[in-house]
Amino acid sequence: MLEFFSGSTRMVNTRRGVAECMEIALGDDLSTCDLIILHASIGHEFSELVDEASRLAPQARIVAASCCGVVGREGVSESMKDIALMAIRGKDFGVSHTSSISGKTAYQETLKMAHHLKDSTPGVNMIYFLASGIDIDNNACIQAMEDVFGSDVTIFGATSSDNMKGVVSYQAVDSNVYTHGAYMIGFSDPGLYIDTAATHGFVAFGEPLVVTKANGNEILEFNGRPAWTEFTSRLGLLPSHTCGDTIPVGALAEKISDDLVDEYGNEHILRVVTSHEGETMHYATSISEGTELWLTKRDEEKIFIEMDRLVENMVKRAGAKKPVAVFHADCLARGRFLFNRILKEELVNRMQFPFSTEGECPPWLGMYGFGEFARLGGKNTYHNYTTALYVIYRNND
């Protein structure tokens, strides 16, 4: 049976920060955990991060990812020196990873990981997936996992980020640190189940950009013109601007089917562009020629309304059950680049309080990343620019 514990801190010294998080989560009994999941802002040295976690818990598997800030049961922080972790006791899990993944290799690499996980860990009923946030076809990753585990296994997680530059992000497994890697954790505790949901609150406007030439997750042309030049022109930017310049204002909206609109609270699912090579834009998922993509604007009132609705629906589905743990992925563009500190804290409090028991927040691990995995319409789905919550319950609670 799995048990979950969490901790977070803002600490300049990486090793001290890891130690503080583990002490918050586990008290003096640091050596008894079996799995540590770390999120850390880009200002930390990731080799030190995993080395210190391994030193304090030498028998534990260690996985880590970079982000643009963390959310823990202690609250939200978006400095360059944030660390948060979920520590897990119990043996009902398995870990699989790859050192290199990209848009072109996403399906094959994820398929290999999924086969390894299934062979090593019988009874997987949910998968936490974390991959590089730069140049990856996330729909291909979902397809590969479902081809091995079936579509009934819920996929949740995120893609790693930097400080919104789109330059480099980090993933780590045990003592190895990667920049284009991925890992998956298969949970196999038969007593656990998970509920996931995501919402964004952005509104599409204007005339769409039409994809007129594409290859996999690469967009080569919009409206018959070179993609990057056309995209940045629509944003009022120059082609010399970086992806980091486009992320706060450049959410691209892709229409969803009518039957999903009420559940999602929006007519569109959003996509972020985290890298480009010349005129070629690396989209977050595979995309077909003829797809229409709209620019969007943030509706702050809608963000709060839809987030409240998401939490209310999740709590209603749970009935009297209380979470044993909550994982949480948030788009970095919804963090300090969207709200000031007061509004961010209010937003996080409004999502945490309904899951709390007598005012105490359950173990909580959240990150500001480049993208989020959560079910939509009963299907595993990749999202951008959302708040995504993954609430784990025990059947007999």
- Helix segments in 150-294, DSSP class H: 227-234, 243-246, 258-264
> CA-CA distance, 235 to 242, in Å (whole number)?
12
Angle between helix axes 14-26 and 46-56 (nearest 10 degrees) is 40
> CA-CA distance, 224 to 15, in Å (whole number)?
52
Say what the pLDDT of residue 86 is. 98
CB 196 within 8 A of CB 378: no
CB atoms within 10 A of CB 309: 13
Residue 101 bridge partners (DSSP): none
Confidence of residue 2 (pLDDT cuts 50, 70, 90): very high
> CA-CA distance, 238 to 249, in Å (whole number)?
14
> CA-CA distance, 161 to 196, in Å (whole number)?
21
Q: What is the mean pLDDT of residues 302-312?
A: 94
Selection from 334, 376, 373, 387 nearest residue 138 by Cα:
373
Query: Is the torsion defined by CA of 202, 203, 209, 213 positive or negative?
Result: positive
CB 384 within 8 A of CB 270: yes
Q: Which two tokens stand for residue 98?
A: 């790859």
CB 289 within 8 A of CB 213: yes
Residue 290's Cα: distance from chain center in Å?
Answer: 28
Q: What is the pLDDT of residues 134-183, one digit of tens each?
A: 999 999 999 999 999 999 999 999 999 988 788 899 999 999 999 999 99
Selection from 187, 189, 162 nearest residue 1 by Cα:
189
Selection from 9, 71, 91, 72 nearest residue 44 by Cα:
9
Confidence of residue 323 (pLDDT cuts 50, 70, 90): very high
> CA-CA distance, 205 to 211, in Å (whole number)?
17
Say what the pLDDT of residue 1 is. 92
> CA-CA distance, 335 to 338, in Å (whole number)?
6
* Residue 83 phi, psi (nearest 5): -140, 135
Query: Is the torsion defined by CA of 277, 282, 288, 292 positive or negative?
Result: negative
Q: What is the mean pLDDT of residues 361-387?
A: 96
* Residue 124 phi, psi (nearest 5): -60, 130
Q: What is the pLDDT of residues 249-292, one digit of tens each?
A: 889 999 999 999 999 999 999 999 989 999 999 999 999 999 99
Mean pLDDT (the chain, rounded):
93
Sheet holding 3-10, edge to edge: 3-10, 82-89, 35-41, 61-67, 171-173, 176-178
Q: What is the DSSP letter of 273?
A: -
* Residue 33 phi, psi (nearest 5): -85, 155
Angle, CA of 124, 127 and 132, to the nearest 5°: 145
Say what the pLDDT of residue 341 is. 56
24-33, 83-92, 340-349: which range is least confident on average? 340-349
Q: Which two tokens stand for residue 16?
A: 């001290």
Q: What is the largest CA-CA distance in the chain?
A: 62
Residue type, 75: G
Selection from 171, 192, 208, 6 nearest residue 88 by Cα:
6
Say what the pLDDT of residue 233 is. 96
